Each structure stands twice: as C-alpha cells, then as structure tokens.
Homo-oligomer: A and B are copies of this chain.
Amino acid sequence: MNDYEHDIDLQRFTVGIDLALEAKEMVESGGKGPIPGVLSEVIEDDGITITRLDIVDEQGSQLMGKMIGHYVTFEVPELRKQDTGLQDRVATKLAQEFETFLERIGIGKTANVLIVGLGNWNVTPDALGPIVVENTLVTRHFFELMPDQVAPGYRNVSAIAPGVLGITGIESSDVVQGIVERAKPDVIIAIDALASKALERVNTTIQIADTGIHPGSGIGNKRKGLTKELLGVPVIAIGVPTVVYASTIVNNTIDLMRNHVKDQNGNTDHIFGLINQMEENDRLQLVREALGPLGHDLLVTPKEIDQFIEDIANIVASGLNAALHDAVDKTNVSAYTH
C-alpha cells in the first residue's frame, strides 16, 4: 500500500509546480520583447523582489502555459539566512501586497474568508499549510455566537487543515467542499507547499494567484483540486516551494555548469558533447532514467527545513492576519503569531 500512497502524495506535490514567474522567464528567454496578453510589473525593495503578473487573455494563457489570472510572486533569496529583521519586512510587504491583491480581484473588506491549509502535519516540508492555519486569527465563531460583540476592524475568517489523502482516506477537496456548504465563505485562500523547479527557490519564494489549485492528471482523473468551478467561490492559492526533485537539481546544475564554462570559453560543445544539444525535457528524461531504476529520484529538502518552515509559515500567517483584519497593525504584523 505504501508505494501507492506515496505516489498519491507525489502527485499533490506536482500540482502547481510551475511558478508563473518561471513560465514568463522561459517564454521571454525564447522570444523577443513583451509577451502579448501578459502584463507584468517588478518592484525591488532591499532584497525583496515582487513581481505582479496578469495573464489577461487566451493568447497570453497559451503562450505562458498558465491560466488567465493574477499572479504575484515574492522572491527573497536571503530568506534562508534566518534574519528576523528581513522576515518581518517580508511579512509586512506581504500584508500590503495581499490587501491590494484582494482589491484588484474584487474581494471586499467584509467578504468572509475560509483559509485552507493543505498538507501533512507530520512531514515537515509539507506542514506549511497546517502551520499557517494554526497561526491564523480566526473569528467566524465570534460572528456566529455573539455577532454584536465583535470589535470593528475584524472580518469573518475561518480556517481548516483538511489533512492528506494518505492519512484521512478522503480527498482534501471533498473535505473543503463540505465545509464550504456550511461555512459559506465568499472566498477561499488555500496555502500549499510546492515542489520547485529550482533549488534556489526552495523556501525563498512565495506565489499568490487567483487561479485556484489544480490537480495533476491523477489516477483516473479522480482528483479534483480546489477551484471556483468546484467550490462556487473564488480560490486564491498561496504556494511556497519547499522541496525539489533530485532530478531537478541535476538538470538545473547541468545548465549552471554550461553557463559557468561558457563564460570562459564561448563554446561548450566539446565539453558537454551531445548533452549540450539536447532539449531540456529530453535531458531531464535522461536524468530521471539514470536515477529511476535505483529508486532515488527523491523529493529532497534543505536539512534546516524545520526552521525554514516555521519561519515562512509565520510570514504567511502574519501577512494574512494583517491583510484580512484592519484591526491588526500593519506596521508590526508578526506580533499576532507565535
């Protein structure tokens, strides 16, 4: 049973593997000038790069290979350095950016929110969602039980960590669907740990998108994702890459090696032979075949993952608390989480 279970979990990790940012970089690197149907804006702020990217029509969507929607990405390369000052700044920026994001996609100040923390408590790199849920300022029960006593500046927020299929035997989407029918939120914010396409993104990048969470093709296409189509309300996904495939590391590094050597020689064919001329996907396929038989195309994570997850979960929870509740001080957002 375990292997199958494992496969299921891997699938969850492939969902959302592509950051919109990476898609844009790929498209641009092959192209000339701006991408039609795609608007983007980059803000640099002392170690934090924020990219706002809107895919506005079908053409943009096809060129990017991503859904029409709004995407915001935080890139903070130094985030693994455990600098609490930087963490506070990222949380504060995230709060501001998320508040703007809600406005842009038409979610009002009083819209009820359900936060969904996907993932597994017991697997540290997959515990991001549940830890965010634990640190979220929920208020729905006060609105339900004593509505006239809720202080101004708070909106109706609830939160759930639906668990993973291997632990519950129930699709997360089924759990969430049941709750949505009862809690009747106006919008869902789903937090998830992602597999990254690049080692340097692990625990340094946060993506916000209003496109929901889409399943991989899955076994018999039975897995459902968390989408507006399924749930009836908009679904904002907040994703953080926390793991990376061993094969991805290898493939990325071969590229880095080629750039490294090319910088000095101009040409690399004699060094890399046919490898040099392979399409990236063919080469990745070769890497996987090499790792595969030994069963070690593992999903790996930095050894300091315990601390990294705690730090980034606090940033996300702090940012959400400040963005969702006007009553939470936006200049010192981390005071409201543990």
The chain A residues found within 8 Å of chain B, CB to CB, are 1-4, 8, 77, 81-85, 121-126, 133-134, 138-142, 144-146, 157-163, 165-171, 174-175, 177-183, 199-200, 202, 219-220, 222, 243-244, 246-247, 249-250, 253-254, 256-257, 259-261, 269-276, 286-287, 289-291, 294-296, 298-307, 310, 335-336, 338
- B contact residues around A307 at 8 Å (CB): 122-123, 338
Known A167-B138, A168-B160, A246-B199; judge A303-B298 contact (CB<8 A): yes
A-B contact pairs, 9 of them (CB 8 A): A121-B134, A124-B124, A133-B167, A141-B169, A160-B168, A178-B180, A249-B300, A300-B300, A301-B305
Say whether, besides A165-B141, A199-B246, A134 and B122 are in contact (CB < 8 Å).
yes
Contact A296 B200, beta carbon cutoff 8 Å: yes
For A338, list chain B residues within 8 Å (CB). 307, 310
Contact between chains at A305 and B124 (CB < 8 Å): yes
Collect the chain B residues with CB atoms within 8 Å of residue A303's CB: 123-126, 243, 298-301
- Least CB distance from A12 to B in Å reads 12
Q: Which residues of B contact A146 (CB under 8 A)?
A: 4, 219
Chain B contacts for A169, CB-based, 8 A:
138-141, 157-159, 183
8 tightest CB-CB pairs across the interface, nearest first?
A178-B178, A273-B273, A140-B169, A138-B169, A158-B169, A256-B290, A300-B300, A257-B290
Interface centre among A85, A170, A270, A291, by most B CB within 10 Å? A170
Contact between chains at B222 and A145 (CB < 8 Å): yes
Closest to A146 in B: B219
Main secondary structure, interface of A, reads helix
**How distant is the Cα of A177 from the Cα of B179 in the complex, in angstroms?**
8
Minimum CB–CB distance for A288 against chain B, Å: 10
B260 A290 Cβ-Cβ under 8 A: yes
Output the least CB separation between A128 and chain B (Å): 12
Interface centre among A3, A158, A244 (most CB of B within 10 A): A158
Name the CB-closest residue of B to A127.
B306
